[in-house]
Homo-oligomer: A and B are copies of this chain.
Amino acid sequence: MPESATRRRVRSLPPPRRVRRPRARAGDPGSRGRLFAAASAEFARHGFAGANVDRIAAAARVNKAMIYYHFASKLALYQEILGDMFHAVAGRVRDVAASDALPDDKLKRFVEAIADEAEARPHFPPIWFREIAEGGTHLSDQTLKDVASVVQMLVSILQEGVRQRRFRPVNPILVHAGIVGPLLLFFASGPLRLRLQRAGIPAAAAVAREDVVGYVQRVSLGVLHGTL
């Protein structure tokens, strides 16, 4: 099993993080950046186990050995991608929660932040879906904290709304599922919806980002306001 051998290696060796990387000119991602991008696409399409390092190298137009020059292993590469994603999402969400907007507005922006990140990194939703399916097996401790912080920020937005008597108390996990579930499903299901459209569902692929964002915002605020 190559994966367990990989893990062993990751545990025993500290990651050789270079503080300043060569070739960091703007416009030229360099081999490391190209590998990172190519690997994101590969992991999204095939999952961690199904991803192939040869394909990653080919797509990045670099030699396979470069993967192991820049990253400790296939797993380390994957984990760096996961970490990058959730660090970005957690940062965005933290900013929203820390702003001085009203709870209603914060919730709307929370929804937009998730949608923005999902759109900016098209590989995020499929990868996140798979990671959920796998119980978050590949999440490092730090990344798990970032994931938790996203939920935690939503909790504090809801609490603030309740304190200000603008929100009714609703289980945050439900609100979270009501927001993240539809958003991820929408952004991850593009290719499948296209196939469904061809299979006889007329409007399956004809939904815009704003429709989904608006739907989720209306629905969540409706529940929190007690309109439902």
Binding site for B on A (CB under 8 A): 44-50, 125-127, 129-136, 139, 144-145, 147-148, 151-152, 155, 171-174, 177-178, 180-186, 188-189, 191-193, 195-196, 199-201, 203-204, 206-207, 211-212, 215-216, 218-219, 222-223, 227-228
Contact = CB atoms under 8 A, between A and B. Distances in A.
Contact of A171 (B155, B192, B203, B218): B203
B195 A136 contact: yes
Contacts of A218: 223, 228
28 contacts: A46-B49, A46-B134, A47-B133, A48-B50, A49-B49, A49-B50, A50-B50, A126-B132, A127-B133, A132-B189, A135-B195, A139-B195, A152-B200, A173-B193, A173-B204, A174-B212, A177-B181, A177-B185, A177-B186, A178-B216, A181-B181, A181-B184, A182-B182, A184-B185, A219-B222, A222-B223, A222-B227, A227-B228
Main secondary structure on A side of the interface with B: helix
A136 to B, nearest CB: 4
